[in-house]
């Protein structure tokens, strides 16, 4: 797999601005950041099945799980809980939307196991119930930033091209080059193709909590 430096070189080749250019209009740092932006955008938009190397399983004890810094998107929650104080059941929890808290408050018997995003002070958590004592969270982890020197691309080599196309589009757009939309179209076409490869995507894919519209 390519390193971030190699991907920067590929973008420079696309925009016909080699590193040796005496007066570059785009710096390596800018290109590396565009590569990172493209990677994060891409991972958010393709099915989890297209990025198995980024799937993380994390266990917890109690009825909530603290959301870590590398969290991008929830896939599913499996919990162990008690029913009637005696029977122990392990099952996949239904992930409530923010405005569905009333379901676990008023219809606990019919809802079964549930999970929802919550906060404890300033800490983001995923809380679960009823009577949960342990569980496993499966989520898409945040890939390593490509803005760091010589980081290895965190996905399969087949995913390098769309990320390079995204960064190329951003680099061309900086100087209002008319070819920018063409590269962005290639990027979006690849996302559509990835979604088309998996007609039965995972049912629950929740994005990470945000503040002010930006991931924390």
| 63 and 113 assigned to the same domain | yes
User: pLDDT tens digits for 45-103?
Assistant: 999 999 999 999 999 999 999 999 999 999 999 999 988 778 899 999 999 887 887 77
Band (pLDDT 50/70/90 cuts) for residue 188 is: very high
* In a domain? residue 212: no
Distance CA 205, CA 169 (A): 28
Q: Tell whether the model's pLDDT for residue 211 goes beyond 60.
A: no
| 180 and 132 assigned to the same domain | no
User: pLDDT tens digits for 127-157?
Assistant: 999 999 999 999 999 999 999 878 999 999 9
| 36 and 69 assigned to the same domain | no
| 110 and 152 assigned to the same domain | no
| Residue where the block lists tokens 């040796």 | 20
pLDDT at position 214, please? 42
User: pLDDT tens digits for 152-163?
Assistant: 999 999 999 999
Considering its fold, how many domains does the chain have in total? 2
| 153 and 93 assigned to the same domain | no
Work out the number of other CB atoms within 10 angstroms of the CB of residue 42. Answer: 22
Q: Looking at the whole model, is its pTM more than 0.85?
A: no
Tokens of 61: 């004890």
Q: Tell whether the model's pLDDT for residue 209 goes beyond 50.
A: no
CB-CB contact of 157 with 1 (8 Å): yes
Distance CA 59, CA 125 (A): 13
Distance CA 136, CA 193 (A): 31
* In a domain? residue 209: no
Q: Which domain holds residue 74?
A: 54-140
| 132 and 62 assigned to the same domain | yes
| 48 and 58 assigned to the same domain | no
pLDDT at position 213, please? 42
pLDDT at position 203, please? 52
For the chain, give the percent of residues with pLDDT over 90.
71
């Amino acid at each position: 797999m390519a390193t971030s430096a190699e991907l920067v070189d590929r973008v420079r080749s696309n925009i016909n601005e080699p590193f040796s250019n005496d007066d570059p209009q785009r710096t390596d740092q800018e290109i590396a950041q565009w590569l990172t932006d493209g990677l994060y955008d891409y991972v958010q938009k393709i099915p989890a099945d297209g990025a198995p190397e980024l799937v993380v399983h994390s266990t917890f004890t109690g009825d909530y799980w603290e959301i870590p810094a590398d969290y991008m998107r929830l896939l599913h929650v499996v919990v162990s809980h008690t029913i009637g104080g005696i029977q122990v059941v392990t099952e996949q929890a239904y992930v409530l939307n923010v405005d569905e808290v009333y379901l676990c408050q008023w219809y606990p018997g019919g809802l079964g196991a549930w999970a929802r995003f919550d906060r404890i002070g300033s800490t983001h958590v995923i809380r679960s119930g009823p009577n949960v004592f342990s569980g496993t969270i499966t989520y898409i982890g945040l890939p390593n930033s490509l803005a760091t020197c010589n980081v290895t691309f965190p996905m399969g080599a087949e995913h390098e091209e769309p990320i390079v196309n995204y960064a190329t589009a951003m680099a061309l757009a900086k100087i209002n080059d008319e070819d920018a939309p063409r590269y962005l179209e290639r990027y979006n076409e690849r996302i559509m193709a990835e979604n088309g490869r998996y007609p039965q995507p995972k049912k629950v894919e929740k994005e990470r909590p945000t503040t002010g519209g930006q991931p924390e």
